């Protein structure tokens, strides 16, 4: 079982953290869970299982993930936001350094930035992860901003066109 922070929202002095949990079953199956921790409570937001879980297994799911999830919540609250990257994602490139005033990385502009966006996108796509979320994590931008960067990388020729032109 692996647990890692997915993202975190800080608002009005309170922190809401989402955690991705992956449980590999002995029969080759897999269960992916998205859990949210806020106000001292941990709730399950989404469950995806291959093959599907029975109702009995679904009710036992909370017991299976409770201890590792609580450990990850405690570790997240004690650690810095820089450690909030999933273990299978590539670390940001050396040119993406963190500003002293915040957690948003400095992202190069122009062709170099578009090339880095394309690398992040393709790496996540190759791992079967959400490529837009990977670009969001690498650049520190919102979903809309990341989609703009991805579109720019497509226009610059670093990614294949979205639609085939006739």
| pLDDT tens track for 14-67 | 778 888 888 887 888 888 888 887 777 778 888 888 888 888 888 788 777 777
Express each pLDDT in 125-139 by its tens digit: 899 889 999 998 888
- Which DSSP letter does residue 90 get? P
Can you tell me whether residue 2 is helix, strand or coil? strand
* 113 lies in the same domain as 161: yes
Domain stop point among 26, 53, 83: 83
* 8 lies in the same domain as 77: yes
Number of Cβ within a 10 Å radius of residue 139:
21
Q: Whole-angstrom Cα distance, residue 114 to residue 120?
A: 10
Express each pLDDT in 81-125 by its tens digit: 444 444 444 444 433 344 334 455 567 778 888 889 999 999 998
Domain stop point among 83, 100, 135: 83
What pLDDT was estimated at residue 123? Answer: 92
* 59 lies in the same domain as 132: no
Residue 55: domain span:
2-83
The structure tokens 């647990």 sit at 3
Domain stop point among 83, 105, 120: 83
Spell out the residues 6+ positions from residue 132 whose beta carbon is closer than 8 angstroms to its own: 121, 143, 146, 147, 150
Domain count, the chain: 2
Task: Output the pTM of the full model.
Answer: 0.43
């Amino acid at each position: 079982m692996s647990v890692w922070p997915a993202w975190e929202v800080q608002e009005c002095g309170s922190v809401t953290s989402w955690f991705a949990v992956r449980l590999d079953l002995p029969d080759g199956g897999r269960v992916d869970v998205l859990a949210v921790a806020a106000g001292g409570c941990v709730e399950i937001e989404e469950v995806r299982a291959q093959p599907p879980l029975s109702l009995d297994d679904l009710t036992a799911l909370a017991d299976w993930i409770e201890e590792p999830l609580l450990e990850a919540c405690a570790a997240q609250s004690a650690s810095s936001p820089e450690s909030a990257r999933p273990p299978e994602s590539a670390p940001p490139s050396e040119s993406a350094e963190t500003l002293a005033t915040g957690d948003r990385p400095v992202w190069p502009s122009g062709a170099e930035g578009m090339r880095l966006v394309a690398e992040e996108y393709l790496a996540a796509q190759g791992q079967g992860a959400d490529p837009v979320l990977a670009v969001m994590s690498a650049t520190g931008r919102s979903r809309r901003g990341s989609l703009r960067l991805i579109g720019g990388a497509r226009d610059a020729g670093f990614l294949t066109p979205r639609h085939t032109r006739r």
